[in-house]
Homo-oligomer: A and B are copies of this chain.
Amino acid sequence: MTQQTIVTAAILAIGDELLSGRTKDKNIGHLAELLTLSGIDLKEVRIVPDDEEEIVAALNALRARYDYVFTSGGIGPTHDDITADAVSKAFGVPCIYEEEAMTLLAAMYERRGMEFTAARQRMARMPEGARHIPNPVSTAPGFTIGNVYVMAGVPQVFQAMVDAVLPTLKSGARVLSRSVTSPYGEGDIGGPLGEVQKRHPETSIGSYPKFDGKFFSTELVVRARDEAVLAAAEADVVAMIETIKAAKVTP
Protein backbone atom coordinates (compact mmCIF):
# COMPACT_ATOMS: atom_id res chain seq x y z
CA MET A 1 0.00 0.00 0.00
CA THR A 2 1.30 3.47 -0.81
CA GLN A 3 1.86 6.14 1.81
CA GLN A 4 -1.26 8.28 2.08
CA THR A 5 -0.61 11.99 2.35
CA ILE A 6 -3.09 14.35 3.93
CA VAL A 7 -3.14 17.78 2.32
CA THR A 8 -5.28 20.44 4.01
CA ALA A 9 -6.79 23.71 2.85
CA ALA A 10 -8.93 26.65 3.92
CA ILE A 11 -10.98 29.19 1.98
CA LEU A 12 -11.15 32.85 2.96
CA ALA A 13 -13.96 34.66 1.14
CA ILE A 14 -13.68 38.44 1.37
CA GLY A 15 -16.48 40.94 0.90
CA ASP A 16 -19.12 43.03 2.65
CA GLU A 17 -21.62 41.96 -0.02
CA LEU A 18 -21.40 38.31 1.13
CA LEU A 19 -22.11 39.30 4.75
CA SER A 20 -25.01 41.59 3.85
CA GLY A 21 -26.63 38.75 1.92
CA ARG A 22 -26.69 40.90 -1.20
CA THR A 23 -24.44 38.45 -3.02
CA LYS A 24 -24.94 34.73 -2.50
CA ASP A 25 -21.54 33.08 -2.57
CA LYS A 26 -20.97 30.60 -5.38
CA ASN A 27 -17.22 30.19 -5.04
CA ILE A 28 -16.98 28.24 -1.79
CA GLY A 29 -19.12 25.30 -2.92
CA HIS A 30 -17.42 25.21 -6.30
CA LEU A 31 -13.89 25.09 -4.91
CA ALA A 32 -14.90 22.72 -2.09
CA GLU A 33 -16.04 20.17 -4.65
CA LEU A 34 -12.89 20.49 -6.78
CA LEU A 35 -10.61 20.19 -3.74
CA THR A 36 -12.35 16.96 -2.72
CA LEU A 37 -11.85 15.62 -6.24
CA SER A 38 -8.18 16.59 -6.01
CA GLY A 39 -7.70 14.73 -2.74
CA ILE A 40 -7.23 17.94 -0.75
CA ASP A 41 -9.15 18.21 2.54
CA LEU A 42 -10.95 21.51 2.95
CA LYS A 43 -10.92 21.98 6.74
CA GLU A 44 -12.29 25.48 7.30
CA VAL A 45 -13.99 28.39 5.56
CA ARG A 46 -14.24 31.98 6.75
CA ILE A 47 -16.06 34.94 5.32
CA VAL A 48 -14.80 38.36 6.44
CA PRO A 49 -15.66 41.96 5.51
CA ASP A 50 -13.60 44.39 3.38
CA ASP A 51 -11.59 45.39 6.44
CA GLU A 52 -7.81 45.19 6.39
CA GLU A 53 -7.36 44.19 10.00
CA GLU A 54 -9.94 41.40 9.73
CA ILE A 55 -8.45 40.04 6.50
CA VAL A 56 -4.90 40.06 7.92
CA ALA A 57 -5.95 38.32 11.14
CA ALA A 58 -7.98 35.61 9.37
CA LEU A 59 -5.30 35.04 6.73
CA ASN A 60 -2.52 34.69 9.30
CA ALA A 61 -4.60 32.25 11.37
CA LEU A 62 -5.42 30.11 8.34
CA ARG A 63 -2.08 30.11 6.52
CA ALA A 64 -0.25 29.01 9.67
CA ARG A 65 -2.57 26.08 10.09
CA TYR A 66 -3.32 24.61 6.67
CA ASP A 67 -1.24 23.60 3.66
CA TYR A 68 -3.11 25.94 1.32
CA VAL A 69 -5.32 29.01 1.69
CA PHE A 70 -7.49 30.21 -1.18
CA THR A 71 -9.03 33.67 -1.07
CA SER A 72 -11.80 35.14 -3.21
CA GLY A 73 -12.70 38.77 -3.72
CA GLY A 74 -11.30 42.24 -3.24
CA ILE A 75 -8.78 42.39 -6.10
CA GLY A 76 -10.66 44.76 -8.42
CA PRO A 77 -9.96 48.44 -9.08
CA THR A 78 -12.18 50.16 -6.51
CA HIS A 79 -11.52 51.68 -3.09
CA ASP A 80 -13.02 48.66 -1.31
CA ASP A 81 -10.66 46.25 -3.09
CA ILE A 82 -8.01 45.95 -0.40
CA THR A 83 -7.03 42.29 -0.57
CA ALA A 84 -3.60 42.94 -2.15
CA ASP A 85 -2.75 45.42 0.63
CA ALA A 86 -4.00 43.06 3.34
CA VAL A 87 -2.08 40.06 2.00
CA SER A 88 1.09 42.16 1.71
CA LYS A 89 0.66 43.27 5.30
CA ALA A 90 0.07 39.69 6.47
CA PHE A 91 3.35 38.63 4.80
CA GLY A 92 5.18 41.78 5.92
CA VAL A 93 6.22 42.80 2.40
CA PRO A 94 5.48 45.96 0.38
CA CYS A 95 2.46 46.04 -1.92
CA ILE A 96 3.84 47.04 -5.32
CA TYR A 97 2.60 47.82 -8.82
CA GLU A 98 3.98 44.62 -10.32
CA GLU A 99 5.77 45.24 -13.59
CA GLU A 100 4.53 42.32 -15.64
CA ALA A 101 0.94 42.92 -14.54
CA MET A 102 1.24 46.61 -15.49
CA THR A 103 2.47 45.58 -18.95
CA LEU A 104 -0.32 43.01 -19.44
CA LEU A 105 -3.05 45.40 -18.36
CA ALA A 106 -1.67 48.38 -20.31
CA ALA A 107 -1.55 46.27 -23.49
CA MET A 108 -5.08 44.96 -22.96
CA TYR A 109 -6.56 48.43 -22.44
CA GLU A 110 -4.64 49.75 -25.42
CA ARG A 111 -6.05 46.97 -27.65
CA ARG A 112 -9.52 47.89 -26.45
CA GLY A 113 -8.93 51.62 -26.95
CA MET A 114 -9.54 52.28 -23.25
CA GLU A 115 -7.64 54.48 -20.86
CA PHE A 116 -5.39 52.67 -18.34
CA THR A 117 -6.71 54.71 -15.41
CA ALA A 118 -5.22 54.94 -11.92
CA ALA A 119 -8.10 52.76 -10.75
CA ARG A 120 -7.28 50.07 -13.34
CA GLN A 121 -3.61 50.24 -12.36
CA ARG A 122 -4.67 49.19 -8.86
CA MET A 123 -5.30 45.73 -10.35
CA ALA A 124 -1.56 45.35 -10.99
CA ARG A 125 -0.81 45.69 -7.29
CA MET A 126 0.39 42.65 -5.37
CA PRO A 127 2.81 41.75 -2.61
CA GLU A 128 6.46 41.97 -3.65
CA GLY A 129 7.61 38.49 -4.65
CA ALA A 130 4.15 37.18 -5.57
CA ARG A 131 3.64 35.16 -8.75
CA HIS A 132 0.70 35.61 -11.14
CA ILE A 133 -2.39 33.48 -11.40
CA PRO A 134 -3.50 33.99 -15.01
CA ASN A 135 -6.93 35.44 -15.73
CA PRO A 136 -8.09 34.37 -19.20
CA VAL A 137 -11.46 36.11 -18.68
CA SER A 138 -10.55 39.72 -17.96
CA THR A 139 -6.70 39.82 -17.85
CA ALA A 140 -6.17 41.29 -14.34
CA PRO A 141 -4.17 38.52 -12.66
CA GLY A 142 -4.65 36.89 -9.30
CA PHE A 143 -1.49 36.05 -7.41
CA THR A 144 0.13 33.54 -5.13
CA ILE A 145 2.59 34.11 -2.32
CA GLY A 146 3.74 31.46 0.15
CA ASN A 147 0.87 29.00 0.53
CA VAL A 148 -1.80 31.62 -0.25
CA TYR A 149 -3.71 31.86 -3.55
CA VAL A 150 -5.52 35.14 -4.13
CA MET A 151 -8.32 35.03 -6.67
CA ALA A 152 -11.15 37.22 -7.93
CA GLY A 153 -14.66 37.22 -6.46
CA VAL A 154 -16.57 37.27 -9.77
CA PRO A 155 -17.42 33.56 -10.19
CA GLN A 156 -16.42 33.28 -13.87
CA VAL A 157 -12.99 34.71 -13.09
CA PHE A 158 -12.63 32.79 -9.82
CA GLN A 159 -13.35 29.52 -11.59
CA ALA A 160 -10.87 30.21 -14.39
CA MET A 161 -8.20 31.00 -11.78
CA VAL A 162 -9.00 27.82 -9.84
CA ASP A 163 -8.58 25.82 -13.05
CA ALA A 164 -5.12 27.34 -13.47
CA VAL A 165 -4.09 26.74 -9.85
CA LEU A 166 -5.32 23.21 -9.11
CA PRO A 167 -2.88 21.31 -11.36
CA THR A 168 0.04 23.07 -9.63
CA LEU A 169 -0.87 21.87 -6.11
CA LYS A 170 0.46 18.83 -4.36
CA SER A 171 -2.49 16.53 -4.02
CA GLY A 172 -3.37 14.14 -1.27
CA ALA A 173 -4.66 10.63 -1.49
CA ARG A 174 -8.02 11.10 -3.10
CA VAL A 175 -10.93 10.41 -0.81
CA LEU A 176 -13.14 7.74 -2.31
CA SER A 177 -16.83 7.90 -1.53
CA ARG A 178 -19.95 5.85 -2.10
CA SER A 179 -23.50 6.96 -1.55
CA VAL A 180 -26.26 4.72 -0.17
CA THR A 181 -29.84 5.97 -0.12
CA SER A 182 -31.84 5.08 2.96
CA PRO A 183 -35.64 5.27 2.72
CA TYR A 184 -35.64 5.74 6.49
CA GLY A 185 -35.05 8.96 8.40
CA GLU A 186 -32.16 9.56 10.73
CA GLY A 187 -34.27 8.63 13.74
CA ASP A 188 -34.59 5.06 12.43
CA ILE A 189 -31.01 4.60 11.35
CA GLY A 190 -29.09 6.82 13.77
CA GLY A 191 -28.44 4.13 16.39
CA PRO A 192 -27.38 1.29 14.06
CA LEU A 193 -25.40 3.71 11.88
CA GLY A 194 -23.34 4.79 14.89
CA GLU A 195 -22.48 1.11 15.39
CA VAL A 196 -21.45 0.76 11.74
CA GLN A 197 -19.21 3.82 12.10
CA LYS A 198 -17.58 2.31 15.20
CA ARG A 199 -16.87 -0.94 13.33
CA HIS A 200 -15.17 1.00 10.51
CA PRO A 201 -12.97 3.61 12.19
CA GLU A 202 -10.93 4.30 9.06
CA THR A 203 -14.01 5.58 7.26
CA SER A 204 -16.05 8.72 7.70
CA ILE A 205 -19.75 8.05 7.33
CA GLY A 206 -21.90 11.10 6.77
CA SER A 207 -25.65 11.14 7.09
CA TYR A 208 -27.59 13.78 5.18
CA PRO A 209 -31.28 14.08 5.91
CA LYS A 210 -33.60 15.03 3.09
CA PHE A 211 -37.04 16.42 3.70
CA ASP A 212 -39.60 16.34 0.90
CA GLY A 213 -42.11 18.48 2.81
CA LYS A 214 -43.64 15.42 4.48
CA PHE A 215 -41.09 12.69 5.10
CA PHE A 216 -37.41 12.52 5.91
CA SER A 217 -35.16 10.10 4.07
CA THR A 218 -31.39 9.94 4.35
CA GLU A 219 -28.44 9.84 2.04
CA LEU A 220 -25.53 8.00 3.62
CA VAL A 221 -22.08 8.78 2.29
CA VAL A 222 -19.23 6.46 3.15
CA ARG A 223 -15.73 7.89 2.63
CA ALA A 224 -12.33 6.28 2.84
CA ARG A 225 -8.95 6.58 1.21
CA ASP A 226 -8.72 2.85 0.54
CA GLU A 227 -11.04 0.90 -1.77
CA ALA A 228 -11.21 -2.28 0.33
CA VAL A 229 -11.92 -0.33 3.52
CA LEU A 230 -14.61 1.61 1.66
CA ALA A 231 -16.26 -1.50 0.20
CA ALA A 232 -16.43 -3.23 3.59
CA ALA A 233 -18.11 -0.24 5.24
CA GLU A 234 -20.50 0.24 2.33
CA ALA A 235 -21.58 -3.41 2.53
CA ASP A 236 -22.17 -2.98 6.26
CA VAL A 237 -24.37 0.09 5.64
CA VAL A 238 -26.41 -1.76 3.01
CA ALA A 239 -26.84 -4.72 5.38
CA MET A 240 -27.97 -2.32 8.13
CA ILE A 241 -30.74 -0.94 5.90
CA GLU A 242 -31.86 -4.49 4.99
CA THR A 243 -32.04 -5.37 8.69
CA ILE A 244 -34.22 -2.32 9.40
CA LYS A 245 -36.43 -3.21 6.42
CA ALA A 246 -36.87 -6.79 7.68
CA ALA A 247 -37.72 -5.56 11.18
CA LYS A 248 -40.40 -3.24 9.77
CA VAL A 249 -42.20 -5.90 7.67
CA THR A 250 -42.06 -8.60 10.36
CA PRO A 251 -44.77 -7.98 12.96
On A, residues with C-beta under 8 Å from B are 16-25, 28-36, 41-50, 54, 76-81, 109, 114, 117-120, 122-123, 137-138, 154, 156-157, 175, 186-191, 193-194, 197, 204-211, 213, 216, 221, 223
Q: Which residue of B lies closest to A58 (CB)?
A: B44
The answer to whether A20 and B46 have CB atoms under 8 Å apart is no
The answer to whether B119 and A22 have CB atoms under 8 Å apart is no
State A24–B24 Cα separation when bound (angstroms): 11
Known A32-B20, A35-B21, A119-B190: A209·B76 in contact at CB below 8 Å = yes
Q: Which residues of B contact A206 (CB under 8 A)?
A: 16-17, 20, 22, 50, 80
A-B residue pairs in contact (CB < 8 Å), sample of 30: A16-B204, A18-B32, A19-B42, A20-B42, A21-B30, A21-B32, A22-B206, A22-B221, A23-B208, A24-B29, A28-B47, A44-B46, A44-B47, A45-B46, A50-B206, A76-B186, A76-B207, A77-B187, A78-B207, A80-B206, A80-B207, A118-B190, A118-B191, A119-B191, A119-B194, A120-B190, A123-B187, A154-B210, A156-B213, A157-B211
Q: Which residue of B lies closest to A185 (CB)?
A: B77
The answer to whether B79 and A17 have CB atoms under 8 Å apart is no
Known A44-B46, A117-B191: A36·B21 in contact at CB below 8 Å = yes
The answer to whether B77 and A117 have CB atoms under 8 Å apart is no
Q: Which of B41, B44, B46, B186 contacts A78 (CB 8 A)?
A: B186
Q: Which residue of B lies closest to A19 (CB)?
A: B42
Q: Which residues of B contact A213 (CB under 8 A)?
A: 156
The answer to whether A46 and B49 have CB atoms under 8 Å apart is no
- A118 CB to closest chain B CB (Å) equals 5
State A190–B77 Cα separation when bound (angstroms): 6
Q: Which of B31, B54, B109, B211 contacts A156 (CB 8 A)?
A: B211
Q: Which residue of B lies closest to A46 (CB)?
A: B46
6 pairs of A and B residues whose beta carbons are closest in the complex = A119-B190, A21-B33, A21-B32, A79-B194, A77-B190, A45-B47
- A97 CB to closest chain B CB (Å) equals 15
The answer to whether A154 and B46 have CB atoms under 8 Å apart is no
- A183 CB to closest chain B CB (Å) equals 14
- A191 CB to closest chain B CB (Å) equals 4
